[in-house]
Amino acid sequence: MLRSLKVKLVIIIAVLCAAVLALECFVTLKRTEVSFEDVLNENYEIKTDYFSSTIDSWMIEEAGTLQAIESAVLCMDSTPEHREQSMQSIVASLEGITAQNSKVSMVYVQLAEGIFLNGSQWDSGDFDGRTRGWYQKAKEANGAPVFNEPYIDASSGNLIITLSKYISMNNWEGVVGLDIYIDTMLSRIDNLVDTNNGKGEYLFITDQNGNMVYHPNKDYQPTPDKIMNVSELGVDYIMAVEEDPDGGIPDYNGENIYVTHSVIPTSEWQVYYVSPTRNYDSLTDNIKNTMTTILIICLVVAIIVSVGVGMWIAAPITDASKKVKAMAVSVSEGNADLTRDIESKSKDEVGDLVAAVNELKTAMAGIIANINTASGQLIDNVSELKTAANISSDNASNISSTMEEMSATSEETSASTTQVSAQIGDITELTGKVSANANSKAKEISRSLDNVEKLKSDIERNDEQMNNRLNNAIETMKSRIADTKKVEEIQKMTQGISDVASQTNLLSLNASIEAARAGEAGRGFAVVADEIGQLANNSADMAKSIQEVSDDVLAIVDQLVKAAEEVSDVMLEISEENSKEKDKIITEYMNTLNECHDAMSEISDNNTEIASNIERIKQSIDAIDVAVEENAQGITTVAGGTSELVSASDNVMSSANSVDRISNELKDHVKGFKC
């Protein structure tokens, strides 16, 4: 299952989303946990400010009553003749205001001249309020309403707050004021803080000096005997506000509480909002649970979205993968239709990938078509190469046979030259003997004429023997020289080798061209073709060397023929001269012994010349022998080269067979593709 790209992509996206959201959840919870106290404190402070502003609005309403009293005074005529009547009207107005406002204990006006007017039917007698604090504060406030310290009404026992204001207009000067029942004014405070919701929240109020104005706990409420101060309570509310200790402080009921504080702007009274810590903890837990629920919902939604996105992203990849895999299977089976492109509607990277695969398929189709064509051409070229290799092998075999014959002929020629050399040695020895005999005979002639006949017989016998031997030697030498003419056949053979080398070189060039066309598949065949070309060049060079050696041998043979002819002429001339001399000796023997002696001396000289000529002939024959040996070595080299040529031809044939087999296999592999 995990081999599927779709599944992998979905899992990866889901895991990444889950990891990111889990990390975000953790960080958010930690961050929220740290800031919960600040948030809740700010929330408590906002609520406290709200409570303070609400109570301030109630006090402003009462200040409106103060404005009515002020208006009732200032609208009256203050002239002396009407002043008394005006004060009676003011009292009537004050009584009306008192009757209309149940929260008011008393409304009054303390004039600067000492007259005290009130609307509560209270007989003030000689009461003078100018010495009271509310009068002095109002005068110091210079026209601003002043909320004075609370006090206990002696008659009712209720807590009273005095609201006063200084006036000075239309010859009216003094302080207008009213006493308000605090519990009546703050009667709505229980609605402001729902004390019946079980949360244990409550408010209490002090004046600017910390004197208790309102507290829900009866133990802390003002009594006629004493008004409690916040610093005198059993709970250190001030410390709770200023230090805000973790976990809160114990309240009068033993429950830990948090306390926030605010100031009422109009009266500068202090409002304290008290909430048990359990509310904070409950709220914190609720916030955590709510955030955790939201984060879990977001995580589930993210996983669902990631799965959908993963499937949406992976769908074209899966489709393209199936099509490419199907093509790969058809390629492996050898029946792929490479003329059809893989279809894909994607315009993104998947579409680019499919387009690249189509381009690869098109390129592969072109390559396979070229391979199919090249394999057919390669099969034809290999067939031609095999035919040429067979011809080259046959020619090389013929050359090898001819070289063997030439080698045998060279051996015979060498043997003949050796025999001629030996015979020339005999001739040299014979001429030496002739010279010795001629000298000896000349002496004998001079000593005795009787031995002339015997000498004549010896000369004739020796002359006949010498002629016979000379004729035999000349005939043998001519026969051997005639045998050396077979060297001319080497030229014909080397010409054949040159022709074969030229054909082989041409065949190698054609094979190299075809191998280059075959590309990578013909690289090995190109190496074989190069080796064949080098062998052909070596064969041509060897044939040229043999041709040059043959030319040198023929030149030496021509020289040897000329030398043999000269020797033959000299020998015949010597023989003729000897015959003439013998005739002269016979016919003129009796004429003079001196002529015979001269004749003998001439014979001795001629024999010396003959020996010299024979020595030159021997040197020529030795040169012929050396040339024949070199010719034999060249023939051996040519024979070895032809053997290598035969072996190379066999290798070419083997390589051609291998290339033929590979070409057929390659053609079989690509014949199923439709390009």
User: 193-217, pLDDT tens digit by residue?
Assistant: 877 777 888 888 998 888 888 888 8
Question: What would the pLDDT profile of 443-481 be if each residue is shown by its tens digit?
Answer: 765 665 566 667 677 777 776 777 777 677 667 766 766
268 domain-assigned: yes
Asked whether the predicted pLDDT for residue 487 surpasses 60, the reply is no
Higher confidence at residue 669 or residue 235? Answer: 235
188 and 61 fall within a common domain: yes
pLDDT mean across residues, the chain? 74
Instruction: List phi, psi (to 5°) of 254.
Output: 85, -5
Report yes or no: 235 and 250 within 8 Å, Cβ to Cβ: yes
Asked whether the predicted pLDDT for residue 171 surpasses 60, the reply is yes
Domain boundary among 210, 244, 279: 279
Confidence of residue 596 (pLDDT cuts 50, 70, 90): low
Assigned token pair, 597 = 């002696």
Strand 202-206, strand 270-276: pairing = antiparallel
Higher confidence at residue 612 or residue 92? Answer: 92
369 and 274 fall within a common domain: no
pLDDT score recorded for residue 333: 65
Higher confidence at residue 152 or residue 656? Answer: 152
pLDDT score recorded for residue 65: 87
CATH number of residue 189's parent domain: 3.30.450.20
Query: What integer is the mean pLDDT of 548-553?
Result: 67
Edge-first strand listing for the sheet containing 249-250: 212-214, 202-206, 270-276, 256-263, 249-250
Angstrom distance (rounded) from CA 584 to CA 571: 19
354 domain-assigned: no
Whose CA is closest to 322, among 5, 9, 13, 10?
A: 5
pLDDT score recorded for residue 224: 72
Highest mean pLDDT among 179-193, 432-446, 660-674: 179-193
Confidence of residue 227 (pLDDT cuts 50, 70, 90): confident
Confidence of residue 158 (pLDDT cuts 50, 70, 90): confident
Assigned token pair, 310 = 């993963």
Residue 558 backbone class (left: φ over 0; alpha: ψ -120 to 50; beta: rest): alpha
pLDDT score recorded for residue 593: 56
Assigned token pair, 168 = 């000075």
pLDDT score recorded for residue 2: 46
Query: What integer is the mean pLDDT of 645-654?
Result: 69
Number of domains the chain contains: 2
Span of 99-113, 115-129, 438-452, 517-531 with lowest mean pLDDT: 438-452
Whose CA is closest to 491, among 535, 552, 401?
A: 552
Highest mean pLDDT among 56-70, 360-374, 379-393, 536-550: 56-70
Angstrom distance (rounded) from CA 271 to CA 268: 9
Report yes or no: 91 and 117 within 8 Å, Cβ to Cβ: yes
| Pure H helices in 485-522 | 487-518
| DSSP code per residue over 61-78 | HHHHHHHHHHHHHHTS--
13 and 162 fall within a common domain: yes
Question: In this structure, how many other beta carbons lie within 10 angstroms of the beta carbon of residue 59?
Answer: 22
346 domain-assigned: no
By residue range, what is the domain housing residue 238? 5-279
371 and 245 fall within a common domain: no
Rg (CA), the chain: 76
Span of 209-213, 278-282, 492-496 with lowest mean pLDDT: 492-496
380 and 502 fall within a common domain: yes
Angstrom distance (rounded) from CA 153 to CA 237: 27
pLDDT score recorded for residue 134: 92
pLDDT score recorded for residue 186: 82
Higher confidence at residue 89 or residue 590? Answer: 89
Asked whether the predicted pLDDT for residue 131 surpasses 80, the reply is yes
Task: Work out the percent of the chain whose per-residue pLDDT is above 90.
Answer: 9
Query: What integer is the mean pLDDT of 438-447?
Result: 65
pLDDT score recorded for residue 499: 75
100 and 195 fall within a common domain: yes
Confidence of residue 379 (pLDDT cuts 50, 70, 90): confident
323 domain-assigned: no
pLDDT score recorded for residue 6: 58
328 domain-assigned: no
Domain boundary among 254, 279, 304: 279
396 and 259 fall within a common domain: no
Please indicate, yes or no, whether the overall pTM of this predicted structure exceeds 0.85: no
Higher confidence at residue 24 or residue 84? Answer: 84
Higher confidence at residue 658 or residue 274? Answer: 274
269 and 389 fall within a common domain: no
Confidence of residue 239 (pLDDT cuts 50, 70, 90): confident
Question: Which H or E element spans position 4?
Answer: none
Query: What integer is the mean pLDDT of 397-417?
Result: 63
358 domain-assigned: no
Asked whether the predicted pLDDT for residue 429 surpasses 50, the reply is yes
Assigned token pair, 147 = 């909320």
Asked whether the predicted pLDDT for residue 578 surpasses 90, the reply is no
Asked whether the predicted pLDDT for residue 330 surpasses 80, the reply is no
Asked whether the predicted pLDDT for residue 68 surpasses 50, the reply is yes
414 and 272 fall within a common domain: no
Asked whether the predicted pLDDT for residue 598 surpasses 70, the reply is no
Report yes or no: 368 and 666 within 8 Å, Cβ to Cβ: no
pLDDT score recorded for residue 1: 43
pLDDT score recorded for residue 165: 93
pLDDT score recorded for residue 123: 79
349 domain-assigned: no
CATH number of residue 564's parent domain: 1.10.287
334 domain-assigned: no
Assigned token pair, 67 = 């404005």
Query: What integer is the mean pLDDT of 544-563?
Result: 68
Confidence of residue 78 (pLDDT cuts 50, 70, 90): confident
275 and 369 fall within a common domain: no
